Structure 1
């Protein structure tokens, strides 16, 4: 584990940090609050973003805002993304991302000034956070912000049998080629044109705008073709909801992606829970005011309540 290059943003400090998972180095940013004192203890949050996002996307927008409220905040590049190690690159893997999040918990627990730990999962990471909350009792509270609460039953209505069959074959071919010679076949994770290949057909303004997500040099609109089945047939945060036993906040809107799935996830929770139904367009919650502040205003009191020392 390493920390380097302290960057001051107002009175919030950011450090570049690394930690390990299965002999792979994961790169992250650690934010500490104003007036930070290593002799004290602080509630901590892991903040992660949408599919293929790197830490410089939405996570780095949320993290300093949360740190200003008194939290130690960690965001990082999942294995195979950004500055983190791992092959094949840009590979979605449900179990792998769970291991990454568990490694982040382990890293935070090595810091003497960290107390209870929660997670804020934005979009797809809301689903990844559900896996963490369902399996690791070191996590104290969960907040899912405009979460992509997918389930495999949506595969057919989303993509149709013809596309699924074609993509399954491409995924199998990609995995074989990588295993044989390390060849790495990719496609776009997002496409806004039905004539252009990609996993998800979406307006995706945040990603295609060169002044927003498209301006983040560390991010690429790419995904390993071999990850298709993980994305469309394995990822199932809905199945994790009944297993969760920690306080959980679900924050979404009618104009978020698959909002009915967020409600379904919430209804399946058998634990202390809170639903905040706000207003705003999904992609604006990554980087636009007032939407991002609406999410922060919901997350902060929830986490302050549940991460406070008892």
Structure 2
């Protein structure tokens, strides 16, 4: 059962899908979970899939489009602002607390890919989030600036930021906004791993959606460069933490580091054998294994 909803992040109106259990009764109280989509994604894709499946297990779930993305407000369009996206998570919690049928002491958060990084960042200062889970976690600041495996040299990062600064000057003086893609729009034989998988998911019929056009404002990098999902994880992330990742994902190290560094005394890395990063987005057997683990985790920490 899905409902179209809207809620505010400061002056922006965000669009969401609220999922409720099949035997929903407004007079009852339910645990609730905020679900955040990957960078470049929208609520109708993997975030909605997980939100729907978790609602079938008895949770109120909220999947939403990030600020500047999808059907949510925010101009310029296709800006990836990690700080706004982190605030989106807090605003989603605000919305849930205003619903009479949500138990405000049983709110959890789930984020996928970059949405996992934003969710983890929000939870460090958002104490209403009682339990935190990620799927195919990515710290977008590290991935976009340092590259996969943190292999990118600092010189290249500085060169990129100089190009961003030049583009900001051009746009401030009337130039057109310059867009790049999140994932390759076209593939060549040299492309492998998550970027190649991302093309298959976001650009082909497999996961493509009209509200997710694979566009990213180039000047977003000035904000992305200053962001880290891990900034206070070793002191402030004390809530129970579950990180789910594929054994064959080239991004696995983010989940491993999160579980190692988090201050939480209740934390777990759950490996889905044989799965890659994007295989956890929509491949049924992988998603079902992840959802079963999420249900066990949230049952323990939210259904008290």
1:183 Cα deviation after fit:
3.6
Question: Structure 1 residue runs of 4+, over 6 Å off?
Answer: none
The answer (yes or no) to whether the contact 1:45–1:117 under 8 Å persists in 2 is yes
The question of 1:15 aligning with 2:3 is answered yes
TM-score by length of 2: 0.88
Q: Which residue of 2 aligns with 1:102?
A: 90
- In structure 2, relative to structure 1, the CA distance for the partners of 1:127 and 1:185 (3 Å cut) is same
Partner of 2:216: 223
Q: How far 1:238 sits from its partner (Å)?
A: 2.5
Structure 2: unaligned runs, 5 residues or longer? none
The match for 1:251 is 244
Match of 1:145 in 2: 135
C-alpha distance in 2, partners of 1:235/1:193? 29
What secondary structure is seen at the aligned counterpart in 2 of 1:282? coil
**Alignment size in residue pairs:** 292
* Residue among 262, 268, 271 paired with 2:261: 268
Counterpart of 1:8 in structure 2 is: none
Say yes or no: does 1:290 pair with 2:276.
Answer: no
**Match 1:25 to one of 13, 32, 36:** 13
Residue 63 of structure 2 is matched in structure 1 by 75
Following TM superposition, by how much is the alpha carbon of 1:178 offset from its aligned partner in structure 2, in angstroms?
4.1
Closer/same/farther in 2, CA of residues 81 and 209 from structure 1, 3 Å limit: closer
**CA-CA distance at 1:195 after TM superposition:** 11
1:229–1:193 distance in 2 versus 1, CA, 3 Å: farther
Match of 2:109 among 119, 122, 131: 119
- Where does the alignment leave 5 or more consecutive residues of structure 1 unmatched? 1-12
Give matches, 1:140-219, under 5 Å. 140-149=130-139, 152=142, 155=146, 157-160=150-153, 163-181=156-174, 183-191=176-184, 193=187, 201-214=195-208, 216-219=209-212
Partner of residue 241, structure 1: 233
SS at match of 1:51: coil
Paired residue secondary structure (1:213): coil
Contact kept? 1:16, 1:27, Cα under 8 Å: yes
Q: Deviations over 1:262-286 (max 9, x none)?
A: 1111011121112212221211111
Superposed displacement of residue 252, structure 1: 1.1
Instruction: Give the CA deviation at 1:201.
Output: 5.0
In structure 2, distance between residues paired with 1:61 and 1:261: 23
Q: How far apart are 1:257 and its partner, in Å?
A: 3.3
Of 34, 45, 54, which aligns to 2:42?
54
SS in 2 for 1:237: coil
User: Counterparts of 1:237 and 1:112 in 2: how far apart (Å)?
Assistant: 32
